[in-house]
A and B are shown apart, each in its own frame.
Chain A
Amino acid sequence: MTQFLDISGLCARIDADGQEKEILKGVDLSIPPGEVHAIMGPNGSGKSTLSYVLAGREDYEVTAGTVNFQGKDLLEMEPEERAAAGLFLAFQSPIELPGVNNANFLRTAVNAVRRARGKDELDAVTFLKTARAAAKELSMAPDMLKRNVNVGFSGGEKKRNEVLQMTLLQPSFAILDETDSGLDVDALRIVAEGVNRLRSPSFSALVITHHQRLLDYLVPDRIHVMAKGRIIHSGGPELAQQIDREGYTRFLAEAEAA
């Protein structure tokens, strides 16, 4: 128990075409405050499902287990309450909102979260200043604030926009769901730097990735291997190289044997 994020025995299923499908089969994971953890694992192991379940997506039904987030029962909270409590999910495929101005969306979100956290709302001028500065640090074109949310954004622009939102919403816990997918090396570095800037004793993150490359820039405190809906192995940052070299076969075999 870390008293920050404690996931215990988490099971969840989804109703896919009338078939109940068990995806999480007893996830145990603890992340202490100030630490960045990574989850790696083969396709279909439940990594994205875990991120959705933590963020409160209603398509998934939690059938067992608990998630304690900073002393609160996370699973009892609405998605927006989780956001207000400090949870942020950087989407693997960020969603387009046609007609919704990006700056307006960001300000609405920031102020909703500030209100819920008992802080004053930001006026338009202060917000724009902050947002522009943050966008610049992520090497985003200035007009991206004026465009519609994610509409017509390239893959890299979408991912940067996620990190921009994360920066402005100031979460205490961020989940990055394959934020590195579809990024070239430069974009990868910029995004990783964006996350690194947030690192502090009061910021934790769970980074879901397929590749060791992101973890070169974003060195995690722990790496977990997820397969078949469970965490089957955990280790230090050196685990990434090992996976890169050997794949998951050995961990899968060990898990089978156990």
Chain B
Amino acid sequence: MPAVTETREAVEKLGQSSYKWGFETDIDMDVAPKGLNEDTIRLISARKEEPEWLLEWRLAAYRAWLKTEEPKWAKVSYPPIDYQDLHYYAAPRKKPGPKSLEEVDPELLRTYEKLGIPLHEQAMLAGVELPEGETARPPVAVDAVFDSVSVVTTFRKTLEEAGVIFCPISEAVRDYPDLVRKYLGSVVPAGDNFYAALNSAVFTDGSFVFVPKGVRCPMELSTYFRINAKNTGQFERTLIVVEDGASVSYLEGCTAPMRDENQLHAAVVELVAMEDASIKYSTVQNWYPGDENGRGGIYNFVTKRGACRGARSKISWTQVETGSAITWKYPSCILQGEGSVGEFYSVAVTNNHQQADTGTKMIHIGRNTRSTIIAKTISAGHSDSTYRGLVRVLPKASGARNFTQCDSLLIGDQCGAHTVPYIENRNMGARIEHEATTSKISEDQLFYCRQRGLSEEDAVGLIVNGFCRDVLKELPMEFAVEAQKLLQISLEGSVG
């Protein structure tokens, strides 16, 4: 029996879940029939009024996908996925015409409210700008992805004035076809891996960011991905291009409504940094992890990769992963430009029956390239978490340096933590360091905190946040606060 059907039946028996963000929004959906073939892809492309070259690109990806095998090397297990049993396209039925907020489905705005999108961001969604001279909090632009189609984009004007393009990728295809054509698939080729090929064939939306030469993006860019359609795989595609001397900080945050079955998510994120450019990409991922027995939950098979093409460019990935039933994700950096810098800061939390196989790849191609990897893994319940990281130094990367630190924290005695570092060095002048620790939250620590008046859960939260501090401090302020709460919520009930 395919996973989705089995899980649906299992979960239907469960009734209410304790997942905090579990609800479904009742909006008319425009859904493509189940199944994947060339006609599905043509339908998606036609619905999105795409140019011929993109359709051809998709079809080529689809053909590559047919020849590719689902990767089996990760330390995760799940029942087989029937890719023909999924819908590949769902779009909120749009009224024809403009996109002013008044015309946005009020139901959708209520969804944002339920999702707890902070008030100031709702205000921004409503087009209210901060008063002149307000510096306490830099503004955040939100490109809200509701299911597959970006419904509303704010702050476009401010960004436009700075010369920054931030829009749904489908719009970018229409408005900036040359840019998209030049960079799409240039970091993650269409046939790169099974899930990337699938994404390339059927991606429906995502974000496009372009920061031109010398521009420091005037605000942090934030996209809230929400998965909200029954039985619809999510295939987001994000492309961020930062030109010489320019910089951007991009925040991606996710909470998903409660699902009644496993949901496949196979996103692709491509980053391109030119000379002296810097990209900071932060993620807080909180998709439905399934119930305490491991039923339901999202399958998150993501390909994220950044190319440091120019000299002294820098790409920094920071991620806090608490959600999903299965996570398969390795945000990577290709360090091509001389003196370019790649960073990966990660906290991965697994509880109950979650499985995570996550890490990074740092490919040192250019001279004097540097990379830093700080990975914190927290396992609780019956979960299994693996850090899998590759550091590869190519012959020309003289003076390359890498520092890797992998720390695992175990809560309880039913969980697992694994560290699988791959180091391939082909340059004698490179310096590679790897440190790893495994520890447990001890009874002593818990008792000490509780004797001081902290509840057991506050104590776990405090200890875990302390464990993750090196990563959390890399997050933008507002994300750091959210992430701390998330860590605690994710581990509720994991001790005692």
Contact = CB atoms under 8 A, between A and B. Distances in A.
A80 interface: yes
B468 interface: yes
Interface string A131-155: 0000000000000000010000000
Given A99-B466, A99-B469, A108-B458, A59 B453 contact: no
B444 A98 contact: no
Nearest to A151: B466
A83 B451 contact: yes
Interface stretch (A87-95, A201-209, A222-230, A245-253): A87-95
Contacts of B450: 56, 78-80, 83
A79 B463 CA distance: 17
Contact of B451 (A89, A97, A116, A148): A89
B453 A148 contact: no
Interface in B438-458: 442-445, 447-456, 458
* Best-surrounded residue of B445, B453, B467, B468 (most CB of chain A within 10 A): B453
A91 B453 contact: no
Given A112-B458, A165-B452, A169-B452, A97 B463 contact: yes
A84 interface: yes
Contacts of A84: 453
B448 A97 contact: yes
B215 interface: no
Given A59-B443, A100-B462, A91 B448 contact: yes
Nearest to A80: B450
A95 B462 CA distance: 14
B463 A112 contact: no
Nearest to B444: A95
B465 interface: yes
B445 A97 contact: yes
Interface residues of B, number: 23
B443 to A, nearest CB: 7
A22 B475 CA distance: 51
Interface in B454-481: 454-456, 458, 462-463, 465-470
A98 B470 CA distance: 11
Contact of A109 (B447, B453, B467): B453
The prevalent SS among residues of B at the interface is helix
A75 to B, nearest CB: 15
B330 to A, nearest CB: 25
A80 B463 contact: no
A99 B467 contact: yes
Contact of A100 (B442, B453, B466): B466
Interface string B269-310: 000000000000000000000000000000000000000000
Interface in B343-387: none
Nearest to A166: B452
Nearest to A104: B462
A127 interface: no
A109 B466 contact: no
Interface string A161-172: 000010001000
B317 to A, nearest CB: 21
Nearest to A148: B466
Interface string A109-134: 11011001000000000000000000
Nearest to A57: B447
Contacts of B463: 97, 100
* Best-surrounded residue of A110, A112, A113 (most CB of chain B within 10 A): A112
A109 B445 contact: no
A105 interface: yes
B466 A97 contact: yes
A98 B466 contact: yes
A55 interface: yes
A83 B453 contact: yes
A54 to B, nearest CB: 10
B454 A112 contact: yes
Contacts of B462: 97, 100, 105, 108
A109 B448 CA distance: 11
A169 B453 contact: yes
Given A59-B443, A95-B444, A112-B458, A79 B451 contact: yes
A100 B450 CA distance: 15
Contacts of A57: 447
B466 to A, nearest CB: 3
Nearest to B456: A80
Nearest to B441: A97
A44 to B, nearest CB: 20
6 contacts: A84-B453, A95-B448, A97-B448, A97-B466, A100-B462, A112-B455
